[in-house]
A and B are shown apart, each in its own frame.
Chain A
Amino acid sequence: MGEKQLMKGNEAIAEAAIRAGMTCYFGYPITPQNEIPAYMAKHLPKRGGTFIQAESEIAAINMVYGAACTGARAMTSSSSPGISLKQEGISYLVGARLPAVIVNIARGGPGLGNIAPSQADYFQAVKGGGHGDYHMVVYTPETVQEAADLTMKAFDVADEYRNPVLILGDAILGQMMEPLIFKEPSGRKFDKSSWILGNRKGRKSHLINSLSLSEGVVEQWNWELKKKFDLMAGKETMVEEYMTEDADVIFVAYGTSARICRSVVNQARKQGIRTGLIRPITVWPFPSETIAGRAKKTKHFFVVEMSLGQMIEDVRLAVLGNATIHFHGRPGGGVPAEPDIMKQLKEILQS
């Protein structure tokens, strides 16, 4: 166990990535994630890695694509508009079965929006974003500690499935300072020798691509990818339940919204209101079973998001009509306020 440190979320993610063995980072400036490339520029070359400030987010994700081809652990980060630019590359990473870690420290949109925290990139993160049938594990850390832990885990999961992994945070997570202790990386080794490029030494040539014009090949390829996605869905779902056992109302919220809801739950409990929180830690795969299980008993689910309501669709699918779903959302960089949520909670209980 390391020592306790005080760090910004962005810096914690960067440091965790380096500790996880990431050697190739490619980025482009955009607020509110600028501390990540700055940290990488300062520390990564000294620790044996490569940092490039790319000419664009598109170039950065494609540098990741290239580095990943060699078996190196590669990463890029950006914020919402930049992540939109990376969607082409993410689709190609999935299509070519390349591991990579992508960090989205999301900001208000649509368009250039603002630099305030937002959860309006949920659809983009979990429903595709890029073209084609694909999924990737999407982690939504709530704290700086969890951001560091999940960053380390993300590299293992990416390597295990040969698939990109997204860390979805927001401006608050990226900018706030919290104490954390860096855990030891897992040390898991992944044998990439059957597919990586370079240092061929007499073996058969390797090809990394995502194209086939022969009939049926891409369809078959998609069926194989589906098997992988199903495996990921079965094994990689992460969720936290907080005081849900006896709850009359269960909040469903992730990331910064979950922090706020946790505080509301604590206040409400002091007032004798039985409420709890289901916090998806992965939003893909989505913890539908946990929600469905609770929906057998709890009649009210209260979704809180920093958007006009995106995750609510997945909650609705999980609940399948077995409970009433309520919503509180703030779009465009607005942050839900605890008194507003508390007021709405009491209205739900009185209805």
Chain B
Amino acid sequence: MAKKGKIEVRIEHCKGCGLCITACKQEAIALSPADVTNSYGYPYLTMINENCTGCTMCAIMCPDQAIDVYRE
């Protein structure tokens, strides 16, 4: 069974580029709706289900060091 994981997003550092989403094989993350933004006006990364395994691929692809990853 796959390990359980989770991410913490530094919302103010996220620019909503979405490269993490492409990298996520678990389809566990998505951007906030266009009208929900951080103070710079960017939609930001959110977890959308419990699928995260803590594989760190999203964080590896993040250009803004916006993601911390936890694993069981």
Q: In the complex, A touching B, CB below 8 Å? A: no
